[in-house]
């Protein structure tokens, strides 16, 4: 259980980490967050939903040449909206129920009630005692979770298709039969209070995020944290929970999304036998929210704390969302974020990190998927010796030059990357279920989700210039500083100190890569294919390879692992394997770091490497049309990595900054201490990685503290 934070996975303060460069968008939460791009749909009227959608004979984001699932939508007699996304590659189904209510619908003075009720939904019904549902999911080998955002609350299970009816029966039962008494409510309220203490009260980055949201949204409930204010959570009681439950947890206020090895007729029959028995309340609950006034003054927030080891800077701009934007502006803001701050080839990263050298990371994101006005964010992590004040001056100068970034080539490349993300997202049934569920919960239609790529493609240079000039202005902004308090300095993580002495100019890493027992430049011969089975390939000596064929999505996903890892780091050079892995795509062959990243970005190829205690691995995603070039670049990175000194210094600085930033997180510190005590002297006891690649936010980041749009 948790609360969603927006459109891309990120840490508490919105500073997006990636182990290197500016990073592509790899989420840290594979099941809870998936790889969801942000949709920015044009405005639609009230009470839009499946009744206006009908049947869409297309893939989720437009049918590809390889075909795609035919998305079906219908409504049960009691008002429950149902969406079915077939995916017959494996006998698995993802079952999700979305309620059209989130923390922005909390009554005044009862902040956190939506999230609190999400917890209480696991406490049992008259038919099933507390824990019975979760035990059933576990006994069937399934997965489950739930999350609350500002605009919706959702519950999901992933099970073998044969158990879909069981999940429906359980979920339908708690839609109307939840039992709430003081013996259940009071202890669970204490759990939520402790959750807030752990995630917010002890974390200065979360405190900054809360303060910035409250300053950006002075009148709208998006300025109130999803988990709620501490003093109001303390006052939540059984009556509050029951009233909220009766108001929002009704079939006409819910959306059922089923993705997987199912047919529309099968889902309809099962839904009618389970959800169809739930009595509706009549009309869908009215969601009334105050409108945020037009901002007129730049605001500044500063949080200083002794625990902060890595200063960070974030700026939020108040902008329209997909539901409040004027004609086409939402799509333009989505594309603008990609051009300006979407990874290591973006304008912000190039200027601040590569050219000026004043930051070790920088980027931007837009949270378009919201019912009401939302945020466009810019972030940066200063380089050693650079003050936040100086960094902010550089950011301002760069942002004033944004029109320079909006050349035809840059716009086209950004569009290609966003189109590729839609294809990559289509490769996951869980991702598809989340995309449709979150969109419909805020008022979009199936047709609008399907048309997203078409609308992005239609964005023009003039529209981008116009939205940048209209919305990226000081008066619409809140700037946040996270700094260390003026207390005696706390020594930075010992691993960061070790990293400064590591690598010896990259010589050790070059030797390590040459010793890897694998050469992916050699192409194996496929012996068989199957849409549901991993079949062995006849490959070059030393390679063990398997292949899973699927005609559903026009892409190739490659995962690979080498023998090696942190356990083989030399004494006194902990972090060598990790740094080597991060340097593999920082230039190879005759391509320096910039040229290599440009080659990846121009074709929307996603290439990443990672390190474990006993292995070094990586992954590659590419569209079929770019497969040959993707494999060539992968082979080049493995066979001829450059390990140029500037790249080594930049990656080293990013790793140290990431390790410092982890000092803000009590959970990370506790985990690190545990492994040191449990495995003294072993490689497992040392930190093996900094936070994952800086990725953009995803609507269902269930393990991150909430800060909303």
Retrieve residue 100's tokens.
Answer: 């059209």
Backbone φ and ψ of 299, nearest 5°: -120, 155
Residue 247 belongs to what H/E stretch? helix 238-248
What does the alpha-carbon distance between residue 585 and residue 636 come to, in Å, rounded to a whole number?
A: 9
Retrieve residue 299's tokens.
Answer: 């605001």
How would DSSP label each residue in 465-518? HHHHHHHSSGGGEEEEEEEE-SSPPPPPPHHHHHHHH-SGGGHHHHHHHHT-S-
Taking residue 530's Cβ as centre, other Cβ atoms within 10 Å add up to 12
What does the alpha-carbon distance between residue 572 and residue 673 come to, in Å, rounded to a whole number?
A: 19
What residues contact residue 211 under an 8 Å CB cut-off, 6+ apart?
301, 303, 480
Q: Is 289 helix (H, G, I), strand (E, B) or coil?
A: coil
What residues contact residue 648 under an 8 Å CB cut-off, 6+ apart?
503, 505, 506, 579, 583
What does the alpha-carbon distance between residue 633 and residue 600 come to, in Å, rounded to a whole number?
A: 8
Taking residue 532's Cβ as centre, other Cβ atoms within 10 Å add up to 13
Residue 15 belongs to what H/E stretch? none
Among the listed residues 31, 65, 70, 118, the single catalytic one is: 118
What residues contact residue 562 under an 8 Å CB cut-off, 6+ apart?
516, 517, 518, 615, 616, 617
What does the alpha-carbon distance between residue 501 and residue 652 come to, in Å, rounded to a whole number?
A: 10
By CB atoms closer than 10 A (0-12, 13-18, 19+), residue 510 is middle
What does the alpha-carbon distance between residue 574 and residue 494 come to, in Å, rounded to a whole number?
A: 10
How would DSSP label each residue in 602-663? HTT-EEEEEE-SSEEEEEEEEEGGGHHHHHHHHHHHHHSB---HHHHHHHHHHHHHHHHHHT
State yes or no: is 234 an active-site residue.
Answer: no
Backbone φ and ψ of 140, nearest 5°: -90, 5
What residues contact residue 131 under an 8 Å CB cut-off, 6+ apart?
122, 124
Cite the active site residues.
118
């Amino acid at each position: 259980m948790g609360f969603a934070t927006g459109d891309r996975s990120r840490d508490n303060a919105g500073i997006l980490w990636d182990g290197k460069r500016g990073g592509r968008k790899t989420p840290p939460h594979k099941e809870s967050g998936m790889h969801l791009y942000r949709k920015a749909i044009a405005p639609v009227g009230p009470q839009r939903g499946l009744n206006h959608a009908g049947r869409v004979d297309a893939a989720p984001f437009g049918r590809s040449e390889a075909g795609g699932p035919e998305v079906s939508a219908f409504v049960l007699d009691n008002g429950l909206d149902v969406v079915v996304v077939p995916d017959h590659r494996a006998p698995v189904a993802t079952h999700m129920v979305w309620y059209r209510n989130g923390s922005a619908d909390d009554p005044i003075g009862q902040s956190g009630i939506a999230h609190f009720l999400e917890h209480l939904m696991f406490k049992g019904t008259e038919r099933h005692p507390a824990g019975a549902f979760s035990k059933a999911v576990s006994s069937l080998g399934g997965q489950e979770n739930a999350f609350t955002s500002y605009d919706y609350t959702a519950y999901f299970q992933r099970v073998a298709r044969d158990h879909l009816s069981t999940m429906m029966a359980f979920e339908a039962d708690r839609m109307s039969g939840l039992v709430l008494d003081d013996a259940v409510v009071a202890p669970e309220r204490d759990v939520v209070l402790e959750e807030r203490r752990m995630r917010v009260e002890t974390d200065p980055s979360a405190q900054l995020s809360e303060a910035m949201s409250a300053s950006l949204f002075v009148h709208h409930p998006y300025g109130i944290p999803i988990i709620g204010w501490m003093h109001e959570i303390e006052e939540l009681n059984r009556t509050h929970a029951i009233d909220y439950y009766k108001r929002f947890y009704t079939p006409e206020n819910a959306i059922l999304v089923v993705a997987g090895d199912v047919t529309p007729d099968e889902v309809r029959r099962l839904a009618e036998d389970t959800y169809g028995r739930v009595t509706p309340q009549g009309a869908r609950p009215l969601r009334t929210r105050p409108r945020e006034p037009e901002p007129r003054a730049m605001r500044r927030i500063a949080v200083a704390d002794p625990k902060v080891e890595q200063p960070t800077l974030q700026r939020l701009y108040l902008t329209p969302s997909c539901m409040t934007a004027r004609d086409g502006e939402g799509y333009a803001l989505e594309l603008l974020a990609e051009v300006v701050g979407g990874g290591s080839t973006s304008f912000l990263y190039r200027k601040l990190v590569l050219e000026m050298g004043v930051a070790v990371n920088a980027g931007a994101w837009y949270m378009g998927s919201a019912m009401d006005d939302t945020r466009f964010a810019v972030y940066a992590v200063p380089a050693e010796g650079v003050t936040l004040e100086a960094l902010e001056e550089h950011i301002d100068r760069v942002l004033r030059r944004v029109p320079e970034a909006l050349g035809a080539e840059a716009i086209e490349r950004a569009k290609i990357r966003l189109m590729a993300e839609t294809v990559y997202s289509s490769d996951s049934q869980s991702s598809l279920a989340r995309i449709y569920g979150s969109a419909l919960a805020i008022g979009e239609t199936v047709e609008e989700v399907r048309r997203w790529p078409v609308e992005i493609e239609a964005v023009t240079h003039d529209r981008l210039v116009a939205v940048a000039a209209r919305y990226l202005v000081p008066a619409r902004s809140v700037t946040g500083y996270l700094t260390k308090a003026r207390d005696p300095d706390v020594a930075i993580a010992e691993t960061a100190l070790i990293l400064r002495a590591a690598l010896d100019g990259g010589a050790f890493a070059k030797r390590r890569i040459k010793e890897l027992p694998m050469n992916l430049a050699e192409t194996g011969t496929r012996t068989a294919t199957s849409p549901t089975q991993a079949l062995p390939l006849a490959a070059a000596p030393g390679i063990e390879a398997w292949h899973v064929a699927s005609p559903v999505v026009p892409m190739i996903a490659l995962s690979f692992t080498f023998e090696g890892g942190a356990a083989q780091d030399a004494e006194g050079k902990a972090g060598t394997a990790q740094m080597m892995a991060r340097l593999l795509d920082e230039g190879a062959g005759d391509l320096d770091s910039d040229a290599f990243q440009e080659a990846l970005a121009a074709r929307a190829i996603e290439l990443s490497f990672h390190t474990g205690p006993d292995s070094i691995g990586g992954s590659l995603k590419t569209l079929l049309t770019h497969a040959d070039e993707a494999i060539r670049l992968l082979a080049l990175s493995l066979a001829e990595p450059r390990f140029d000194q500037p790249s080594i210094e930049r990656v080293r600085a990013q790793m140290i900054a990431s390790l410092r930033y982890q000092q803000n997180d009590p959970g990370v510190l506790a985990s690190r201490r545990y492994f040191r005590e449990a495995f003294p002297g072993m490689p497992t006891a040392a930190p093996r990685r900094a936070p994952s690649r800086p990725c953009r936010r995803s609507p269902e980041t269930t393990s991150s503290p909430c800060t909303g749009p």
